[in-house]
């Protein structure tokens, strides 16, 4: 391909006080293969108003063989950080990967090829957990770190989307001025983005062969972490779904949530018998449905994301 017309992929990373993991990620990005099909740059947006990652990135910029841009988004809002990253990106393709993740060398090339093969507007790959230590047995047995893996070639529904491992054509942002909604301050802006994009006719394909790996540190290997995560996710899920509930759904949705809370509460004693991995699963589901119901009546347990 002529250099003048070669595609350019901007890999966007939003970070918040994870400097060691961020450095590990950037060094892995340097090793990505592109087989000469595209140029690459990296955009790091620090969502810490104190610019805590600046020193780390400046050190890496001195050694980087590809363009590495750094900026700060002082508004502590993941949607705002993503939007700033897109504005700074100069590629006609935009990738997102989380600051606690890292890719294998073939990651970006596999995603890029999938977009060409399936004539899609973007590609999403799976995220697998990575442990640097031996995690508790209950955590491995619980499946709480696992995410669904979707077969390559599957056209995705918006509920199956996220920005932890994605490559998008820039035009998905530019043609309709589509941005991440800053109303979703702690989570959910990525799904809302894909929902709006799909409503406009854009299509996104699953690519099983393009995984990234999410580091699960000891702080995320506790019962409290998964309960807190469930509370935040449910709060955002309720706010996200509320505008789309119509007719009988306004009754059936809270009824189902209330029924689920009752069932999982009754199952808690069984979890004590079956083992901690089952008990934590039931506790996590209780926390989720309770938070969902409380958010519905105006009691928000997830004002800020601190995990």
Which CATH number goes with the domain that contains 124? 3.90.550.10
Answer yes or no: do 111 and 234 share one domain: no
Q: Are strands 212-215 and 127-130 parallel, antiparallel or unpaired?
A: parallel
Burial of 247 (0-12, 13-18, 19+ CB in 10 A): exposed
Answer yes or no: do 112 and 212 share one domain: yes
Please identify, among 218, 243, 267, the residue that sits at the C-terminal boundary of a domain.
218
| Domain-embedded: residue 184 | yes
| Domain-embedded: residue 307 | no
| Domain-embedded: residue 183 | yes
Answer yes or no: do 72 and 161 share one domain: yes
Answer yes or no: do 201 and 92 share one domain: yes
Closest-CA residue to 212 (of 155, 144, 163, 283): 163
Answer yes or no: do 92 and 190 share one domain: yes
Instruction: Give pLDDT tens digits along the chain (307 positions).
Output: 455 679 999 999 999 999 999 999 999 999 999 989 999 999 999 999 999 999 999 999 999 999 999 999 999 999 999 999 999 999 999 999 999 999 999 999 999 999 999 999 999 999 999 999 999 999 999 999 999 999 999 999 999 999 999 999 999 999 999 999 998 777 788 999 999 999 999 999 999 999 999 999 999 999 999 999 999 888 877 776 666 655 545 667 788 889 999 999 999 999 999 999 999 999 999 999 999 888 887 777 665 545 4
| Domain-embedded: residue 305 | no
| Domain-embedded: residue 304 | no
Answer yes or no: do 211 and 241 share one domain: no
Q: Are strands 165-169 and 122-124 parallel, antiparallel or unpaired?
A: antiparallel
- pTM of structure: 0.89
| Domain-embedded: residue 303 | no
Domains of the chain: total? 2
Put residue 49 in one of left, alpha, beta given phi > 0 → left and psi -120 to 50 → alpha.
Answer: alpha
Answer yes or no: do 186 and 60 share one domain: yes
The DSSP H or E segment spanning 165 is strand 165-169
Answer yes or no: do 133 and 41 share one domain: yes
Answer yes or no: do 180 and 247 share one domain: no
Please identify, among 218, 251, 270, the residue that sits at the C-terminal boundary of a domain.
218
Closest-CA residue to 14 (of 92, 91, 70): 70
Cβ–Cβ under 8 Å, residues 111 and 210: yes
Task: Give the domain range for residue 200.
Answer: 3-218
Please identify, among 173, 199, 218, the residue that sits at the C-terminal boundary of a domain.
218
């Amino acid at each position: 391909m002529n250099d003048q017309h070669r595609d350019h992929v901007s890999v966007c990373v939003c970070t918040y006080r994870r400097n060691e993991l961020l450095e590990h990620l950037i060094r892995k990005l340097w090793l990505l293969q592109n087989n000469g099909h595209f140029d690459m740059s990296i955009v790091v947006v620090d969502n810490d108003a104190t610019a805590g990652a600046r020193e780390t990135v400046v050190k890496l910029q001195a050694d980087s063989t590809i363009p590495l841009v750094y900026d700060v988004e002082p508004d502590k809002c993941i949607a705002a950080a993503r939007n700033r990253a897109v504005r700074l990106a100069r590629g006609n393709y935009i990738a997102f990967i989380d600051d606690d993740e890292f890719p294998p060398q073939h990651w970006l090339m596999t995603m890029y090829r999938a977009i060409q093969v399936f004539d899609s507007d973007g590609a999403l790959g799976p995220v697998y957990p990575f442990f640097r230590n031996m995690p508790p047995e209950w955590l491995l047995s619980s499946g709480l770190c696992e995410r669904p893996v979707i077969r390559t070639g599957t056209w995705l529904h918006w509920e199956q989307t996220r920005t932890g491992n994605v490559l998008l054509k820039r035009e998905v942002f530019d043609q309709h001025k589509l941005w991440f909604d800053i109303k979703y301050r702690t989570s959910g802006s990525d799904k809302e983005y894909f929902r709006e994009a799909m409503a406009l006719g854009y299509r996104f394909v699953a690519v099983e062969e393009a995984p990234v790996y999410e580091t699960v540190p000891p702080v995320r290997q506790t019962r409290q972490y998964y309960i807190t995560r469930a509370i935040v996710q449910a709060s955002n899920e309720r706010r996200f779904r509320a505008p789309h509930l119509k007719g009988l759904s306004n009754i059936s949705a809270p009824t189902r949530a209330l029924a689920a809370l009752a069932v999982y509460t009754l199952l808690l004693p069984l979890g004590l018998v079956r083992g901690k991995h089952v008990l934590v699963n039931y506790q996590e589901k209780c926390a989720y449905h309770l938070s969902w119901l409380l958010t519905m009546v105006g009691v928000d347990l997830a004002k800020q994301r601190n995990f």
